[in-house]
Structure 1
């Protein structure tokens, strides 16, 4: 691991994304402090990471994406400290936040992080729609707040969307890119705007694909087959939605709708109904497709 002045990574949120982020940093040799609000959430994260490490190469073969080198599972897990105390990231050199896409939830997390962490520590916001400038504004270090939009599955994606907030410094951008390079990923820097580049396009695509199913123009399987067969996509838009989680998709499209006030971001009723029914995609066993 190159010497970039970062040894310990604080990872806030142990859901699907947080677990993946913690895993890739631990695999790259970093010490990781993984924080969530309950022991149950942390135990699920531990089991998720164990399964991911076990089946990593199998998933890489299935998706056509390159898996990282095989490593000792016990060694990787040994680098991750699981805790419910946010204060345990006080000695972290870099923090990646992955809590739910809800500003009322994120805001107090960053206010507490700002009080706990050393002044030089960079906060990387793993968000798909919440403006980085807004996050920086509730801290005393807006120049050290930057967006790091990891894609799922994090372990198999070679690129990360990096978002520069209004006050984000060049030093912070360089630090972010160096941290990503240390885990074998390339960062592409874009300006701060709701949805940034990837989700501003992706969420519209997913939402419109959901409307096609809602209006009985096509079945979900047919929509995805067309995108894979005609455009060479590895996964169709509704398979992608199921992988991300339909609750996260809905929060993202609702966030874009609020931010832009444009009717093109109006969430599909079928998407809302599936979330209300608890059919959230792969993590629940069923979404637009059935995984049970």
Structure 2
């Protein structure tokens, strides 16, 4: 091989070596890449953290919008926080309203319209007991022919209870009980109680009066309440508690009863008038009764009533 051929061969070899070195350099870059772009990675991490913070803030805002105790934060294994519903409880439990006890059914007689019709310290309970004794007394005499059953006490209304002053015909003090009822027929009874026992009973049944009866009608047997026995004429026991009773129509608004030197304003009680007072002197004239309408006009005067006994026997 001449020198020229050697130089050509070396020249060719030099180009190959240069090419080989270039290929090795490219392979080295492929096997060992360039360092990671740190600024880009840092930016990506910052964005991710901001996203997580924003998501957590949204959860807290949601919790603030619901009632306290409705939700609770539950920590998960992944480190994330999620909202889970939990039951809500009231601080107090509702209390059931108490059921009212059933009221007892009424029994016994009705009370008078005013407490002033129970006189001389007699209580309603005492008057009721007296009425029941009177009715029992009446039932004990049912053998009398044509006698009407007076019924039980719960059908009556007590309109007067007062002290009874003993006289020659009925010695010893006691008390009178006056009661009335409207059904099944109008009934009025006057009963005297002494020493805890019924001593006698007077009754009237039916509402029929005389044809010329006025709007006020004194009870035909009411004298038992305002006079002592004719055996004691001029020798009454004083002071003397008296009473006067009778019927009054609805058109009558006021009734007065004058007896001795005093005038009593009567109580109107379900169609009956009831008056009372105390005498401190002997009298000979019966109570003077007057009735007035709502305008104050006189509609009845016992002095003008032909059927009324104006003097005492």
Same fold flag (TM > 0.5): no
TM-score of Structure 1 vs Structure 2, range by shorter chain: under 0.3
- Normalising by the residue count of structure 2, what TM-score does the alignment of the two structures yield? 0.25
Higher strand share: 2
- Normalising by the residue count of structure 1, what TM-score does the alignment of the two structures yield? 0.26
Greater RCO (CA < 8 Å, at least 6 residues apart): 1
Higher helix share: 1
